[in-house]
A = this chain, B = another copy of it.
Amino acid sequence: MQLGLSFSDSDVSSFTPLVVLELADDTKAEAITWLLNRIRDKQQNGGAELLVNQLLFPAQDDQKSNPNVFVVGSTLQRLLNGAEDVGLFKEFQDGTMRGFTYANRESFKDFNGDGEGFLSDAECQYIIKHGLDTLRAKNEQHVPGYPKLKLYPGKSVVRRLQSKGVLIQYFPLHNKEDLKRLSFSWYKKFKLSFQPLDDIRHYFGEGLALYFGFLEYFTFALVPMALIVFLEVWKRCSATLAYGWGTLSRKKAFEEPRAGFHGALGFNPVTGREEPVYPSSKRQLRIYLVSVPFVLLCLYLSFYVMMVYFDMEFWAINTYHENPNIATSILLFVPSIIYAVVIEIMNLLYRCAAEFLTDWENHRLESSFQNHLVLKVLVFNFVNCFASLFYIAFVMQNMVLLRQSLATLLITSQILNQVMEAFLPYWLQRRRNKKVHKRMRRLMGDKELPLLGQVQLETEMNTYLGTFDDYLEQFLLFGYVSLFSCVYPLAAVLVVLNNITEVYSDAFKMCHVFKRPFSEPAANIGVWQLAFETMSIIAVVTNCALIGLSPQVKAYFPESDTQLILIVVAIEHVLLAFKFILAFVIPDVPKHIQVKLAKLDFDSLEALKKRKILEATET
């Protein structure tokens, strides 16, 4: 089957392929023809005005490769117009960041000639993704060839195809040369310098760059353990980064319903367009009658497992005391290690359940879906990971056991994490690479097939599911460090060591293990800022309580516990008040960025005034 233009490497030069589109291998020919026409059609006619070609793999003997793989590219003109449509901010001649407009293109800093090289690869791919995502049904009742794939005017074609499994995936291609340069500056040479955040952003987009920025910032902040202020200062760093990347003042486009959202067809009160509508009361019922009880049940289960762990712990201690030798002294650590592994498994299982439940709650917007998912996962993970430590610290008041449990939990979870998220995928990826290379070599002999090979390889790579898991891991590490920092300061050292390797393994996995992700414009780290701030408040409370419990402090107040408690509570309140005052006093956006933003507002107001006066004199 061959539809429209197709090309092998000989005519690759017709355009630079930027995004790969993979349809199911049994997709009907009329649907493919229709989709390609819609993608190629002019924007005036409601098309995406992009270039798209089928990628033909040579016939294969042993294994069928999917024939319906397409590469998408674009003309430079379309990309520049698209940059204006998506509201990209670029650096202006005067050093401020401004919304790009094609009419003023010559006034932007790095715009030379026809604009070649003005947009980064990641930006071009983002523009193409936006073009594909906003390709909307016109008068089609359904996808040609698929009477069941209903469409209505304004429905995003790509989302409908994706939700029904016709479109398997679409992803941006790696750029081998850029990737090599990035890898080199990022992790190939060991150095004590900062990460190349601008390069990372250039290649992977703002969301991921902010994650690495936060990771670096977090690690540095751990060194002096200056945790109380550190989140306030991060907001400023983040604002500075986001300004330089043009995402700080960029307006969010109207948010479309997420792909999985379903409901009876109705009218959106904002757009006035037809789209599925799902009553919010039904959603609330699902949340409060199903999700909340489920979370509570899981928390109960987590407590139950904790109690089993304590039974094991006591058994191990008794065994050791009855018969103290090397074997039984090793046995002392076994319950903690088993518990740590069980915690990780429970977290994983719960994560799947939470995703399923949140999906079933049928949130209209991706952002609201994410918020509910994050909330569910955070509450459970917090309790699951830290309940035993709280129990040991404040009910058993056993500081030796606390230190030991903390160390075991922390080290075990770090090792598990590194294995699960870097080594395992890396090993799987290598195996897959070898297989693909072998297959290609057998098929083509010695002919080099860069594009075909690359697409084949990247199609089979794992998909990066976003920064959620990475932030979650940092959040839990932050908990281990901060909640009990005054009894086990060594935790900070362990986390710093972990994060140094984490930067390298994350960088490596982004470059070589996963498909390249689409750039995701982000102005801040979103709900995670709140999560980290909440944790830091809880940490103030726990640390004050721990200090109050410490024998050294208790020795100062031999007669009266009351006085000691009152003093500890007073100090705690002062610290908390201090935190809130700091949050209020330190502006979230640094002064020099504020000035630039004000300048932007002022200039656009002035421009408006001038236009009005011009219009007035014309008429």
A residues with a Cβ closer than 8 A to B are 43-44, 84-85, 251, 253-254, 269-271, 530, 541, 561-562, 565-566, 569, 573, 584, 595, 598-599, 601-602, 605, 609, 612-613, 616-617
CA distance A43 to B617 in the complex (A): 11
Q: Which residues of B contact A569 (CB under 8 A)?
A: 565, 569
Closest residue of chain B to A94 (Cβ to Cβ) is B272
Q: Which residue of B lies closest to A271 (CB)?
A: B602
Chain B nearest CB: distance from A382 CB in Å? 13
- From B270, B598, B605, contact of A602 by CB (8 A): B270
Q: Is the CB of B44 within 8 A of A613?
A: yes
Give CA–CA (A573, B542) in the complex, Å.
Answer: 12
**Cα A561 to Cα B559 with chains together (Å):** 13
Is the pair B602, A254 in contact by a Cβ cutoff of 8 Å?
yes
Residue ID in chain B nearest A253 by CB atoms: B605
Task: Contact check, B541 vs A599: say whether CB atoms are below 8 A apart.
Answer: no
Q: How far is the CB of A428 from chain B (nearest CB, A)?
A: 40
Which residues from B are CB-within-8-Å of A599? Answer: 269-271
> Per a CB cutoff under 8 Å, which of B270, B541, B612, B616 touches A595?
B270
* Complex interface: chain B residues within 8 A of A254 (CB): 598, 601-602, 605
Q: Could you list 23 examples of A-B contacts with CB < 8 Å?
A: A43-B613, A44-B613, A44-B616, A84-B612, A85-B609, A251-B601, A253-B605, A254-B598, A254-B601, A254-B602, A254-B605, A269-B595, A269-B599, A270-B595, A270-B598, A271-B602, A530-B584, A541-B573, A562-B565, A565-B565, A565-B566, A565-B569, A569-B569
Q: Among A530, A598, A613, which residue has the most Cβ atoms of chain B within 10 A? A: A598
- Residues of chain B within 8 A (CB-CB) of A595 are 269-270
Q: Which residues of B contact A598 (CB under 8 A)?
A: 254, 270
- Pick the contact of A562: B85, B562, B573, B613 (CB < 8 A): B562
Closest chain B CB from A127 CB (angstroms): 15
A96 to B142, CA, bound (A): 35
Q: CB-CB < 8 A to A270: which residues of B?
A: 595, 598-599, 602
Return the 7 tightest CB-CB contacts between A and B, nearest first.
Answer: A270-B598, A270-B599, A561-B562, A254-B602, A269-B595, A565-B565, A270-B602
Residues of B near A251 (CB, < 8 A) are 601
Q: Which residue from chain B places its CB closest to the CB of A597 in the assembled complex?
A: B270
Complexed CA–CA distance, A94 and B199 (Å)? 48
- Which of A44, A270, A561 lies at the interface centre, i.e. has the most chain B CB atoms within 10 A of its CB? A270
In the complex, what distance in Å separates the CA atom of A574 from the CA atom of B561? 22
CB nearest to A584 among chain B residues: B530
B contact residues around A616 at 8 Å (CB): 44
Q: What's the least CB distance linking A593 to chain B, in Å?
A: 12
Q: How far is the CA of A617 from the CA of B609 in the complex (A)?
A: 26
In the bound complex, CA of A584 to CA of B375 (Å): 12
Chain B residues closer than 8 Å to A584, beta-carbon distance: 530
CB distance from A527 to the nearest CB of B (A): 11
Q: Chain B residues near A253: list those with CB within 8 A.
A: 605
Q: What's the minimum C-beta distance from A544 to chain B, rounded to whole angstroms?
A: 10
Question: CA separation between A573 and B271, bound complex, in Å?
Answer: 44
CA distance A616 to B269 in the complex (A): 30
Docked pose: A44 CA to B609 CA in angstroms: 11
Name 17 extra pairs, CB < 8 A, besides A269-B599, A271-B599. Answer: A43-B613, A44-B617, A84-B612, A85-B609, A253-B605, A254-B601, A254-B602, A254-B605, A269-B595, A270-B595, A270-B599, A270-B602, A271-B602, A541-B573, A561-B561, A561-B562, A565-B565
A101 nearest CB across to chain B (Å): 10
With a CB–CB cut-off of 8 A, which chain B residues contact A562? 561-562, 565
CA distance A602 to B275 in the complex (A): 15
Shortest distance from the beta carbon of A590 to any chain B beta carbon, whole Å: 13
Cα A349 to Cα B602 with chains together (Å): 40
In the bound assembly, the distance between CA atoms of A561 and B561 in angstroms comes to: 9
**Closest partner residue, chain B, to A609 (CB atom):** B85
- Chain B residue, CB-CB nearest to A87: B605
Shortest CB–CB separation between residue A95 and chain B, in angstroms?
A: 11
| Distance (whole angstroms) from the CB of A568 to the closest CB of chain B | 9
By a CB distance below 8 angstroms, the chain B residues around A85 are 609
Which chain B positions have C-beta within 8 A of A271?
599, 602
Residue numbers in B under 8 Å from A44 (CB-CB): 613, 616-617
Q: Which of A84, A584, A595, A612 has the most CB of B within 10 A?
A: A612
How many angstroms between the C-alpha atoms of A602 and B269 in the bound complex?
Answer: 11
Tell me how far the C-beta of A73 lies from the nearest C-beta in chain B, rounded to whole angstroms. 22
Determine the residue in chain B with the shortest Cβ distance to A280. Answer: B591
Q: Smallest distance from the beta carbon of A198 to chain B beta carbons, Å?
A: 25
